[in-house]
A and B are shown apart, each in its own frame.
Chain A
């Protein structure tokens, strides 16, 4: 318990000291929410922009934390032998993994608070089913953490850095986050529909819409992404680069 608390504290301290991590997790999603609300470059039929943008940027925040930040940090911990050194200490592996998972969830709660506060200021009216939102957040976190760790545990650190950043941009543009799926040309839209980013953003959007039915069509593929990505990461992860 003492080790878990100390490890969680260290993870959060490290995240706060990585400037690029603060930028991608806290600044970019909030900045995009404010920017696209103020400048409606992509008109959204029949709703205030913030109602479309808030679920998308919450999804993007999850991607930034669980995929980009976790993936890059873990890749460099592997590169610098930090994981190997911890493996020679009595810290149990499950405790180490639990601390990382809890750190991701704590950061996501901070992101959620920032984005919801910004959305309220932009005139967003709360509504929907908090349980659906929580389920989407957990499954999305699992899916993206799995993908981030899959890269971090198999590629060189520099490559993980490049690939996660590239995919982050792809998810931002194609994941129904700031650009509605209906605006994408057809072959692209079909592919995008199955991206974990899209299913996460859409599940969150349904969850934040009052009276919407349970979004099984989004939650089920998201759950599949989570199981497959986490399984693949666990199976292929190599501690030494």
Chain B
């Protein structure tokens, strides 16, 4: 990783009265990286981003953006960053080009508003004549994105850039954000959509209850972990089990040799291996052959799994969540 990160969040704490919104959160974003902060509503995503943007003062810990303190060096920082608030923030009565031209005057070396309007796909004669408040949700989001980019920022903060969009608009905005990254702009975005984070981000930081739950590339996070835990009768021969499991899943290249089985506590076993459906099936088969009853099978990162379920559950918004996400952690 680059020695000077674009964003440093170091044991950040932010409280609102009794409630701790962000709790000892730490992560960094490398220059040119696209990091997604993923978490359910109320996880502390917006609070974190708004602290980085200079809107909030940390109650504990430290943040740095492009090496600067957002509160102390705000004026210098605001020339070099672009941002998109979670909702609105633009003059409702101004038209797209009027807004872009206005914001362009704030920056030393702005993009051409006309070109930018074209780039975000709002170069349409009807859209051009429409005031911001009369644009569709997707058009408003794209215009907000254009305004975030008009100052040629080195770093952009996008808070829920695709919230409330239909799938087509979502894909289109996602592609625009990928383009930014290709152009070398560092991007920190928030989302509560697992699929979106997976699609656009280089790395995903999953937060819940103001804490970091997991951090890694989408592939690392979605691989399902490297531990399989189960309960069964105590005293099983772990070496023999490992050998059988290796044979059972051994068609792949190289991997099975790393497979090990241990019994950290009587009757509680851990299989150290890349967790796949095949491995789970093999374990079930091996134990059945020995006439051993398998109980409580779980795949390592329990909190992450539960969170993924909640995140993916939220996308089918038909049923209300069983618990309030913000109350946890």
Query: Interface of A with B (CB < 8 Å)?
Result: 2-3, 5-7, 10, 13-14, 17-18, 76-77, 80-82, 84-85, 87-92
Which of B83, B90, B93, B107 gathers most chain A CB within 10 Å? B93
A89 and B78 contact, CB distance less than 8 A: yes
CA–CA, A13 and B102, complex, Å:
12
A82 and B91 contact, CB distance less than 8 A: yes
Query: Which residues does chain A contribute within 8 Å of B183, judged by CB atoms?
Result: none
CA–CA, A13 and B94, complex, Å:
8
Query: Which residues does chain A contribute within 8 Å of B78, judged by CB atoms?
Result: 88-90
Chain B's interface size range is 20 to 34
B104 — nearest CB in chain A belongs to which residue? A6
CA–CA, A85 and B86, complex, Å:
10
CA–CA, A82 and B88, complex, Å:
7
Contacts A6-B105, A10-B94 given; does A88 touch B54 at CB 8 Å: yes
CA–CA, A58 and B182, complex, Å:
58
B85 and A84 contact, CB distance less than 8 A: yes
Query: Interface of B with A (CB < 8 Å)?
Result: 53-55, 75, 78-79, 81, 83, 85, 87-94, 98, 101-103, 105-107, 131, 151
Query: Which residues does chain A contribute within 8 Å of B131, judged by CB atoms?
Result: 17
A90 and B90 contact, CB distance less than 8 A: no
25 sample A-B contacts, Cβ–Cβ < 8 Å, listed by A number: A3-B105, A3-B106, A5-B105, A7-B105, A10-B102, A13-B94, A13-B98, A14-B94, A18-B93, A80-B88, A80-B92, A81-B89, A82-B89, A82-B91, A85-B83, A85-B85, A85-B90, A87-B55, A88-B54, A88-B55, A88-B83, A89-B78, A89-B106, A90-B79, A92-B75
Interface residues of chain B: helix, strand, loop or mixed (majority): loop
A121–chain B nearest beta-carbon distance, Å: 33
Candidates A18, A81, A90; contact of B85 at CB < 8 Å: A81
Query: Which residues does chain A contribute within 8 Å of B79, judged by CB atoms?
Result: 90
CA–CA, A76 and B93, complex, Å:
11
Candidates B83, B90, B105; contact of A82 at CB < 8 Å: B90
Candidates A84, A85, A90; contact of B151 at CB < 8 Å: A90
CA–CA, A118 and B55, complex, Å:
49
Query: Which residues does chain B contribute within 8 Å of A6, judged by CB atoms?
Result: 101-102, 105
Query: Which residues does chain A contribute within 8 Å of B55, judged by CB atoms?
Result: 84, 87-88
